[in-house]
A = this chain, B = another copy of it.
Amino acid sequence: MKDLSLTDMLDKEDVTAMIIVAKKKAGLTWAGIAESIGMSPVWTHSACMGMNAFSAEKAAALVALLDLPAEAAAVLEESPTKVWEQTVPTDPCIYRLYEIVGVYGPTIKALIHEEFGDGIMSAIDFDMSVTRVPSEKGDRVKVEMSGKYLAYNAW
């Protein structure tokens, strides 16, 4: 324990703070960072927030792009413990998503059962995109989710 340095104590929260400052200083966007490291914007942002784990290769790419301390790479590769504090999110932008789950959750469930059988859409073998769709009545946000169908096991 005698040779303990500051960077031995880095955790995902520290590295997220470093990323936010470095991104602002560099004038980058999340879409730009994502393109630079060859991943999608959704995954890149969530992993930078500490909600997903980087591969060694992608961690190295991010450290290089943003000039982070070398010790940050190992932290980026760690499996995160995913915690959200608000059972019901208060931010209006996020609450609308919660509301959609409340209103349409039983419908998504019913249509999965009708089309696939007794099972669920995985949130682990999962990907998502957020894009802009131009429209004359006002542009629209398009959120596309894709998760593997997992059938319940009977034994």
Contact = CB atoms under 8 A, between A and B. Distances in A.
B104 A108 contact: no
Given A142-B145, A152-B52, A94 B110 contact: no
Counting every copy of the chain, the complex holds: 10
Given A8-B21, A141-B116, A99 B111 contact: no
Contacts of A138: 148-149
Interface string A117-141: 1111111111110111101011111
Contacts of A84: 90, 102-103, 105
B133 A121 contact: no
A140 to B, nearest CB: 5
Interface in A39-91: 39-43, 45-47, 49, 51-53, 55, 58, 67-69, 74, 79-84, 86-91
B46 A24 contact: no
9 contacts: A30-B110, A45-B110, A46-B107, A52-B154, A82-B91, A95-B95, A111-B130, A112-B141, A121-B143
